[in-house]
Amino acid sequence: MLNLALLIAATSLILATASAADPPPWRLTDAGRALPEARPALVVVTPGVPHSAYLTWIEALEQEGLDAWTLQLPARARQVEDVTAGVGAAFAALSEGRPTPVIAAHGYGGVFVLLAEVQPAALALVGTPLAAQPVPVLVDTDAPLVAEALPWDPDLLGGLPTEPYAGSLAAAYARWATEFPAYHPPQAPALLIASGIDPVAPPEVVRLPSQGWPDRQWWRAGPLGMEPADPTHAQLLSDPEIARRVARFLAQEAR
């Protein structure tokens, strides 16, 4: 394991996989300024969404005094287990000789965090489903070898930036809309944010499934009762005020 000095000095940490036959390495990147004395904040980038879509979050986290790191998962990862293993490995690396990291995730990135069963100091999940939906409105879910978009109508997502990723993960995203995987509720303080017009994680699959969590705050984004003004799935990631709310929560809960 890298010692603390090397971890701090690294601006991009590559966690090697066991053999050449394994998926490409997970990329853990110090996303902003070098803040070696600050608490690490791990931003889990959803496979299929580009790293650049998270810049608003990175800026907000560092403005709150956290040391923002991003985890980009291998584009050719074939299985959900590949991704959850990456989350666990990245969390372990950031925990080495430093305060316990906090985690922020958007959309399906948050599902991978739950399945990895890591124990952050605090957790923020934005637009992340926590259960199956009663009536999901998916597009064609036939999984190609490489998917180009999430399995939802792009107009409903609100222009979420996407990039190619494994079709098997796209199939998992679609499957989770009707058959959600089992997970253990996190024990850390958690902030959950959802929007009434988000097809990926409408409020009913966020608020109710989390009622038994030991320490969670729930917030419905947007002016309640004015659905057209609610943020889209894409805006949950790009809106500066939501980013600041996430960053403030993580910084305060981890003190």
On the 0-12 / 13-18 / 19+ scale of CB atoms within 10 A, 132 is: middle
Query: Of 17-26, 34-43, 87-96, 123-132, which range is least confident?
Result: 17-26
Most confident of 98-107, 140-149, 217-226: 98-107
Position 234 scores a pLDDT of: 98
Q: Encode pLDDT of 6-43 as tens digits.
A: 343 443 444 433 334 454 457 899 998 888 889 999 99
Position 18 scores a pLDDT of: 38
Q: pLDDT-derived band of residue 222, with 50, 70 and 90 as boundaries?
A: confident
Q: How far apart are CA 192 and CA 219, in angstroms?
A: 6
Give the amino acid at 50.
P
Average pLDDT, the chain: 87
Q: Which residues contact 49 (CB under 8 A, 6 or more apart)?
A: 106, 107, 109, 160, 161, 162, 163, 237
User: 11 in helix, strand or coil?
Assistant: coil
Position 12 scores a pLDDT of: 44
Total number of domains constituting the chain? 1
Residue 47 contacts residue 169 (beta carbons within 8 Å)? yes
Q: pLDDT-derived band of residue 74, with 50, 70 and 90 as boundaries?
A: low
Q: Does 138 or 172 have the greater pLDDT score?
A: 172
Say what the pTM is.
Answer: 0.88
Position 206 scores a pLDDT of: 98
Give the amino acid at 223.
P
Give the amino acid at 255.
R
The closest alpha carbon to 247, from 203, 196, 191, 188, belongs to 191
Position 98 scores a pLDDT of: 95
Q: Encode pLDDT of 137-151 as tens digits.
A: 777 656 678 898 999
Q: How far apart are CA 44 and CA 171, in angstroms?
A: 20
Q: Encode pLDDT of 234-255 as tens digits.
A: 999 999 999 999 999 999 998 8
Q: How far apart are CA 177 and CA 101, in angstroms?
A: 29
Looking from the CA of 104 toward its CB, the CA atoms found within 13 Å total: 32
Looking from the CA of 185 toward its CB, the CA atoms found within 13 Å total: 15
Position 24 scores a pLDDT of: 46
Position 8 scores a pLDDT of: 38
Q: What percent of the chain has pLDDT over 90?
A: 73
Which domain range does residue 143 map to? 4-253
CATH code of the domain containing 61: 3.40.50.1820
The closest alpha carbon to 90, from 126, 55, 123, 45, belongs to 45
Residue 167 contacts residue 144 (beta carbons within 8 Å)? yes
What are the tokens at 79?
């299985």
